[in-house]
């Protein structure tokens, strides 16, 4: 018995080892949550869970120290009991029932502690713990997306593994109030072209994939100061807080990797910029069971002249019990003069105007977004209209109902309309697709696109399959 207890005390299951295991578990949880999070209220939940996890580690540390001390006391107690038993054996042929009961009780407690520690080790394994220089914690996650796209033309059809995308996500909590986040993307893709060289030939007879291009977009990099949940300041390069899908935008949570037409190219500014460099004030407030969210920002878009300031905001209200979320959006900015054209047809840029405009004109954009979600249905709707000074107005909207067939299968449809203004053709997309999630961190997709241009005989059919693996 003493030998067994001594072996337990000398095993690798000491406090330091336990703390590493538990810390690793918390870090893995944070990494998974950051990869999946994408909504403002989800970010707040993640931060609350992280703070709760830190408190849990501290309480577990205290409990483990007490457990270790208890084991030492138990060892000493067993030593005394066995010494006493040996003395008793010298005068008696057997250990007294009372002594035997005490030894068995101590052994059960030790066995329970060992089993609990082994269970923790089985869940965590030998995962590496990431440490920061000067932060409370450092979390690393990411994902990779691979797409294969096929197009049916009038004279020929093409198929290509045309997009490979890897994104690394890193976050750090400096202290209770300050945090950092960055997303670094590495993209290798081939655009699908329907319009010929220099976008001059507008027909679907000879579609082709262009040469591969390597792109390393600076996606996100911001610092956030949290005064309270209802008052936070964010500065750096951030996602423009408009609508639903633009805020979500990370492929691990998207039903379809090519976003609605008015959000393409990504990053771009067909109606409003997807990203901005600047400052962002945001927060949320709960009223009974409902939540009010707000965002206000000012910044510059990399596709415009640096002095062109873009301002705006979003006011959202979430009816948490019913699953209904409403958002009201406004933005004011200025577009830089450029030649108007429709860019190449690809999952990221098809039928999209450039980030600039025919003239250097100002604009005001208004929009409404409506999301309804319950156990079986997820229905996203957005409409945005920009009122362009001295240019044609722009309009984009979509409705995307989705049905959760099971925990692993989702089916969806999207009707997507976009009028880019600038005397360019309007475009309508019908998208029918499915998602399969064998495990929560793997999303497999299939989608069929029927794309109709506002021009006689201009129509295209595209099939796309993609897989996103996140960690």
What does the alpha-carbon distance between residue 323 and residue 412 come to, in Å, rounded to a whole number? Answer: 18
Most distant pair of Cα atoms in the chain: their distance: 110
From the CA atom positions of the chain, what is the Rg in Å? 29
What pLDDT is attached to residue 358? 57
pLDDT of 465 higher than 90: yes
Q: How confident is the model at residue 3 (pLDDT cuts 50, 70, 90)?
A: very low
Give tens-digit pLDDT for 159-193.
888 888 899 999 999 999 999 999 988 877 666 66
Query: In terms of DSSP bridges, do strands 459-470 and 137-152 run parallel, antiparallel, or are they unpaired?
Result: antiparallel
Map out the domains of the chain as residue ranges. Answer: 2-124, 137-470
Q: How confident is the model at residue 389 (pLDDT cuts 50, 70, 90)?
A: confident
SS3 182: strand
What pLDDT is attached to residue 101? 79
Kindly report the average pLDDT of the chain as a whole number: 78
What does the alpha-carbon distance between residue 231 and residue 213 come to, in Å, rounded to a whole number? Answer: 42
pTM above 0.85, yes or no: no
What does the alpha-carbon distance between residue 297 and residue 313 come to, in Å, rounded to a whole number? Answer: 6
Question: How far apart are the two ends of the chain, measured CA to CA in Å?
Answer: 44
What does the alpha-carbon distance between residue 289 and residue 274 come to, in Å, rounded to a whole number? Answer: 31
Asked if 304 contacts 334 with a C-beta cutoff of 8 angstroms, the reply is yes
pLDDT of 341 higher than 80: no
CATH of domain 137-470: 2.40.160.10
Lowest mean pLDDT among 62-66, 215-219, 354-358: 354-358
SS3 2: helix
């Amino acid at each position: 018995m003493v030998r067994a207890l001594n072996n337990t005390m000398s095993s690798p299951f000491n406090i330091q080892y336990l703390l590493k295991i538990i810390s690793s578990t918390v870090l893995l949880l944070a990494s998974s949550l950051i990869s999946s999070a994408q909504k403002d209220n989800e970010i707040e939940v993640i931060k609350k869970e992280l703070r709760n996890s830190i408190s849990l580690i501290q309480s577990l540390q205290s409990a483990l120290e007490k457990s270790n001390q208890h084991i030492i006391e138990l060892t000493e107690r067993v030593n005394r009991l066995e010494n006493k038993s040996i003395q008793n054996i010298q005068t008696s042929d057997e250990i007294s029932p009372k002594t035997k009961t005490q030894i068995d009780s101590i052994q059960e407690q030790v066995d329970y502690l060992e089993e609990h520690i082994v269970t923790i080790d089985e869940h965590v394994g030998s995962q590496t713990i990431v440490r920061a220089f000067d932060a409370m914690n450092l979390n690393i996650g990411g994902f990779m997306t691979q797409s294969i796209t096929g197009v049916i033309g009038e004279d020929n059809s093409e198929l290509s593994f045309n997009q490979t995308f890897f994104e690394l996500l890193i976050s750090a909590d400096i202290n209770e109030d300050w945090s950092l986040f960055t997303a670094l993307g590495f993209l290798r893709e081939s655009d699908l072209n329907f319009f010929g060289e220099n976008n001059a030939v507008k027909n679907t007879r000879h579609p082709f994939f262009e040469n591969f291009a390597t792109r390393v977009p600076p996606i996100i990099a911001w610092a956030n100061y949290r005064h309270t949940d209802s008052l936070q300041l964010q500065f750096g390069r951030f996602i423009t807080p408009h609508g639903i899908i633009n805020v979500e935008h990370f492929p691990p949570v998207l039903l379809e990797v090519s976003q609605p037409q008015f959000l393409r190219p990504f990053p771009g500014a067909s109606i409003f910029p997807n990203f901005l460099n600047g400052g962002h004030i945001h927060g949320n407030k709960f009223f009974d069971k409902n939540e009010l969210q707000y965002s206000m920002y000012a910044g510059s878009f990399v596709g415009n002249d640096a002095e062109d300031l873009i301002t705006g905001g979003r006011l959202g209200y979430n009816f948490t019990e019913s699953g209904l979320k409403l958002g009201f959006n406004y933005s004011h900015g200025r577009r830089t003069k450029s030649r108007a054209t429709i860019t190449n047809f690809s999952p990221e840029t098809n039928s999209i105007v450039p980030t600039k405009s025919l003239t250097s004109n100002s604009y005001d954009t208004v929009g409404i977004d409506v999301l309804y979600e319950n156990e079986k249905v997820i229905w996203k709707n957005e409409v945005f209209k920009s009122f362009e000074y001295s240019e044609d107005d722009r309009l984009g909207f979509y409705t995307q109902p989705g049905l959760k067939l099971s925990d692993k299968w989702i089916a969806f449809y999207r009707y997507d309309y976009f009028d880019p203004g600038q005397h360019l053709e309007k475009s309508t997309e019908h998208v029918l697709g499915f998602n399969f999630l064998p495990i929560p961190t793997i999303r497999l997709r299939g989608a069929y696109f029927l794309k109709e241009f506002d021009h006689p005989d201009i129509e295209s059919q595209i099939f796309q399959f993609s897989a996103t693996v996140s960690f």
